[in-house]
Chains A and B, each alone.
Chain A
């Protein structure tokens, strides 16, 4: 299973691959991926790769990702080429109208890409007082809700409980549920 996770620096992308890695390890699978550090983290575009299985290289080749987790709709479009035909896109929409672009939709259709959109910011505004730092867990919830990535919501629940700072576990689990429901 090969994941590409995209967004902008500061959105908590690294936590997403940590959670995926934790789950895979619990199942005794090998994992390898790449993190983004330094300059690119300062609000700029960020791409992180993650592979579960017998791989050596931390990079996903263009056209081979099974799942694209996009924390930002523009970054989703910029990185669509990583997805294989028939792959799945889980995307946080900020401006859903713009995402309806004809050419974009026709490419998604042609390549049989399954799209699971959530409007993360409105959900977090409504339920979490606009604390957007929960976006990463929301996306992970949406991924489980969409039933992709080979990860069940129970496994994700466990991973979040193990990894999140203790005093934020409860809120994180609540967000996970919100994401799960939003994408189902």
Chain B
């Protein structure tokens, strides 16, 4: 181990995956895990391995591909974010019982905080639920190192192992050691053995007790042989407090002790929270009068302790039961434990300055020039009373445009549309429903919902917002685009119209998302058809995401005519482009050229015609 290089945590994990000899890696993109798979491809090319890398259409698909590929003895892995594991929960639970042959690593990134997720769930609980060992890294470097140990553990015990980084590990940027050599690949020697590879109920009677035995053995190993992840950092002086810490909270505690010179805290660092090395913890607890447990996000370590009498943590609410444990919060909690004063960082002057300057946090918004904004606008204008379920992706930000009435999880735009339709059908009333979903999300889990809706005769308009990319997670490809992860590795492009036709949809139209005026009529027409024929009508709003454009499109530079603008703010409230701002002093809207990309769409938006084409001099 000679070289060090600054890597993103996700790149460090990817590097570990390739160095550890993994030959099949699959994923579905999801923040904060998305950068891992592309980095696996890059390092594989760099280090000359033949590792197959694939985006599955969803996490269940990705998981089943990767785990099956390990049945013959190869090292494989599957990568996703925490909510992705909900989608892959089915195969995860089944294969947790299996006696695996090859090493199989499941990487699940959690998002405490959460910064870009619909839940704050803790995947370590899923590990506990499935009785699968879990590694919880504190830093990017440790995450990389854990990959090797996770594979080793998986192979020795024939068990799925989970690496569970949190966002601050995934998106840390840190100097990390690199190995030049790659562990040798293993041959695929799949042997037919239905008892082993078919999940019949009868197998469970054997598999479940065996899994329990494996857990006992692994717990024992974690107690004794994994000192590099489970260890004590003694206090420099007399310890007034013991802290059991896992994940990024440990990293912060180390920094705090180093910079503040704090000498009254002893730490037990736990890197393998499931199954918890309970004895190690109990010996530590016995030596301290007070013990604080700091972990992200649920009380997973804490609830595995047999005696929680002395414990302060998330379980008993001493540590907030939700949210990210940021450094300043941890410091406050420690002070509370020890009965010390907490210094406040609140500056009244700045607070009132913020009020006077009207400073509020800027929420995330659809980008200027984003085709989704135009689509939402046309839909709302066509059918202002429509119920508009939507989905998970950039377009969820359409909530700022009042373009979204519900969003549950991937694919639920379609099924929610069915639900809203059924609710109004029972009352016998016509209530338009227009669902919006992204192209990648549609393939992820919209398809089955559409088949179900056609079969059951549900009247709604499904608008597939086809921007040729999975944008929110950083621009991955999807089946309708056809491009694959490695350049030159071409997939088959699946045509959205044909897929919908195959599902039995008869009304399908593809439109240019920027053509707001025409699309208003198209949406009305689609709904009329859906209602009359009692079946879903599909509109594909097509326009590439502006973040993937290499060359900008022909600009349609706009200008605001202050003579015409009456200051009604309609453009701002219903279109919400960052390029449109309201000037409180003149009571007129203006174009903020810092953000405007000259897409020209807002010309269709102002009902008074105040936004006009700018004649270029």
In the bound complex, residues from chain A placing their C-beta under 8 Å from that of B331 are 61
Q: Does A57 contact B (CB under 8 A)?
A: yes
Report whether A130 and B593 are in contact in the complex, using a CB–CB cutoff of 8 Å: yes
A63 to B331, CA, bound (A): 12
- Does B361 sit at the interface, judged by CB under 8 A? yes
What are the interface flags for B24-59 relative to A under an 8 Å C-beta threshold, 1 for contact and 0 otherwise?
000000011011000000000000000000000000
- The answer to whether A31 and B175 touch (CB under 8 A), given A37-B31, A57-B251, A81-B350, is yes
Q: Quick one: CB contact mask for B578-614 with A, threshold 8 Å, 1 for yes?
A: 1000000000000001110000000000000000000
Query: Given B8, B35, B345, which contacts A63 in the complex, CB threshold below 8 Å?
Result: B345
A106, B353: Cα distance in complex, Å: 10
Q: Does B454 contact A (CB under 8 A)?
A: no
Contact segment of B93-101, B252-260, B279-287: B252-260
Query: How far apart sit A75 and B168, CA to CA, in the bound complex (Å)?
Result: 21
Shortest CB–CB separation between residue B344 and chain A, in angstroms? 10
The interface residues of chain A lying within 8 Å CB-to-CB of B556 are none
Q: Do A8 and B362 touch (CB < 8 A)? A: yes
Q: What are the interface flags for A156-172 relative to B under an 8 Å C-beta threshold, 1 for contact and 0 otherwise?
A: 00000000000000000
Residues of A within 8 A of B474 (CB): 37
- Please classify how large the interface on chain A is, using the bins under 10, 10 to 19, 20 to 34, 35 or more: 35 or more
- Residue-wise, chain A 34-61 has the 8 Å CB interface mask toward B (1 for contact) of 1111111111110000100011111111
User: Is the CB of B366 closer than 8 A to any CB of chain A?
Assistant: yes
B363 at the interface (CB under 8 A from A): yes
Partner of A58, one of B168, B250, B363: B168
Cβ of B419 under 8 Å from chain A: no
B472 within 8 A of A: yes
Cβ-defined contact, B6 with A57, below 8 A? no
Chain A, residue nearest B396 (CB): A39
Task: Encode contact with A along B344-356: 1 for CB under 8 Å, 0 otherwise.
Answer: 0111011011101
How close is B4's CB to chain A, nearest CB, in angstroms?
Answer: 8
Residues of B within 8 A of A32 (CB): 139-140, 172-175
Cβ contact within 8 Å between A106 and B173: no
Known: A35-B8, A62-B345, A80-B350. A57 touches B248 (CB 8 A): yes
Q: How far is the CA of A41 from the CA of B8 in the complex (A)?
A: 17
CB-defined contacts of A78 to chain B, threshold 8 Å: 354, 359, 361
Contact B115 A62 (CB under 8 A): no
Contact digits for A47-90, partner B, Cβ 8 Å, 1 yes 0 no: 00010001111111111100000000011011011000000000
Tell me if A179 counts as interface (CB < 8 A to partner B): no
Contacts of A56 in B (CB 8 A): 138-139, 250-252, 254-255
B397 touching A77, Cβ below 8 Å: no
Residue of B nearest to A109 (CB): B349
Q: CB < 8 Å: which of B8, B248, B367 contacts A42?
A: B367
**B237 adjacent to chain A (CB < 8 Å):** no
B346 to chain A, nearest CB (A): 8
Interface string of B324-359 (1 = CB under 8 A from A): 001110010000000000000111011011101101
A24–B363 CA distance with the chains assembled, in angstroms: 32
Residues 1-39 of A, flagged 1 when their CB comes within 8 A of B and 0 if not, give 000000011100000011001100100001111111111
B116 touches A104 (CB 8 A): no
Chain A residues within an 8 Å CB radius of B328: 61-63
Question: What per-residue 1/0 map shows which CB atoms of B248-283 lie under 8 Å from chain A?
Answer: 101110111011000000000000000000000000
User: Does A37 lie within 8 Å of B367, measured CB to CB?
Assistant: no
The answer to whether B173 and A21 have CB atoms under 8 Å apart is yes
Does B290 belong to the interface (CB within 8 Å)?
no
Distance in Å: Cβ of A35 to nearest Cβ of chain B: 4
- How far does the alpha carbon of A104 sit from the alpha carbon of B357 in the complex, in Å? 10
Cα-based distance from A36 to B172 in the complex (angstroms) = 9
Does B171 belong to the interface (CB within 8 Å)?
yes
**Residues of chain B lying within 8 A (CB to CB) of residue A62:** 327-328, 345
Alpha-carbon gap, A35 to B174, bound state (A): 11
Chain A residue at minimum C-beta to C-beta distance from B253: A57
Say whether A134 faces chain B, with CB atoms less than 8 Å apart.
Answer: no
The answer to the question of B182 belonging to the interface, with a C-beta cut-off of 8 Å to chain A, is no
Say whether B394 faces chain A, with CB atoms less than 8 Å apart: yes
With A and B bound together, what is the CA distance between A102 and B594 in angstroms?
27
From the candidates B32, B345, B346, name the one contacting A37 in the complex (CB within 8 A): B32
Question: Which B residues lie within 8 Å of A44 (CB)?
Answer: 361-365
How far is B81's CA from A79's CA once the two chains are assembled, in angstroms? 29
Choose one: B168, B173, B350, B595; the contact of A59 (CB below 8 Å). Answer: B168
Given contacts A42-B397, A62-B345, contact A103 B352 (CB under 8 A): yes
B473 interface residue (CB < 8 Å to A): yes
B327 touches A59 (CB 8 A): yes
Q: State which residues 261-317 of B face A: CB under 8 Å.
A: none
What is the CA–CA distance of A34 and B173 in the complex, to the nearest angstrom?
6
Pairs across A and B, CB under 8 Å, 9 listed: A8-B362, A30-B175, A34-B168, A38-B115, A43-B595, A45-B363, A56-B255, A62-B328, A63-B328
Other than the given A39-B115, A43-B365, A58-B174, 10 more pairs (CB < 8 A) read: A9-B364, A25-B4, A25-B5, A39-B31, A39-B472, A41-B364, A50-B173, A54-B258, A58-B173, A75-B362
Which residues in B have some Cβ–Cβ distance to A below 8 Å? 4-6, 8, 31-32, 34-35, 115-116, 138-140, 168, 171-175, 248, 250-252, 254-256, 258-259, 326-328, 331, 345-347, 349-350, 352-354, 356-357, 359, 361-368, 394, 397, 472-474, 578, 593-595
The 3 closest A-B pairs by CB, nearest first: A38-B31, A38-B116, A44-B364
